Amino acid sequence: MSPFLAGITWLLVFQALGEAAVRLAGLPLPGPVAGMGLLFAALVVRGPVPEALAAAADGLARHLSLLFVPAGVGVMLYVRQLADEWVPIVVALAASTVLAIAVAAWVFARLAGRERDGATSEPSP
């Protein structure tokens, strides 16, 4: 089996385990998030990440933004509803997103209290 196929298979198996765990435990969590937790626990216990798994996971992560396109197109369903309220919606989303990024980054950097990485990390998101 090609490494990519083996990797995808592992991801789907852990997603299924996550779905099963969520249903059995009655948790208010999506299955994939539980699957991520289970896979993470398995990787920490077992040691280095298998190459096949890394190939599949990194491939999906690189184009993670593609996967949100179908949900984003859903905006067309709500054009009329959003037309009445677009000012509060746009202002609230934009201001709150800026605030959340600033607060999270500032608190993280403050608590980490390390400026030593600062000078070397130039290409930054």
Partner 1 sequence: MSDPLFALWVYLAATPLAGLALTLVAYAAGWSAYARARFHPLANPVPIAVALIVAALAATGTDYRTYFDGAQFVHFLLGPAVVGLAVPLAREWPRVRRLARPIAGALAAGSLAAAASVVALAWVLGATPRTIASIAPKSVTAPIAMGIAEQLGGLPALAAVFAVTTGVLGAVVGKYVLDAVRVRDRAARGFALGLAAHGIGTARAFQVHAEAGAFAGLAFGLHGLVAALVFPFVPSLLRWLM
70-92 residues labelled b (16+ CB within 10 A) or e (exposed): eeeeeeeeeeeeeeeeeeeeeee
Find the shortest distance in angstroms from Cβ 97 to partner 1: 5
Find the shortest distance in angstroms from Cβ 34 to partner 1: 9
Kindly tell me which of 23 and 54 has the beta carbon lying closer to partner 1. Answer: 54
Find the shortest distance in angstroms from Cβ 5 to partner 1: 12
Residues 6+ apart with CB under 8 A from 35: 11, 14, 15, 16, 17, 18, 19
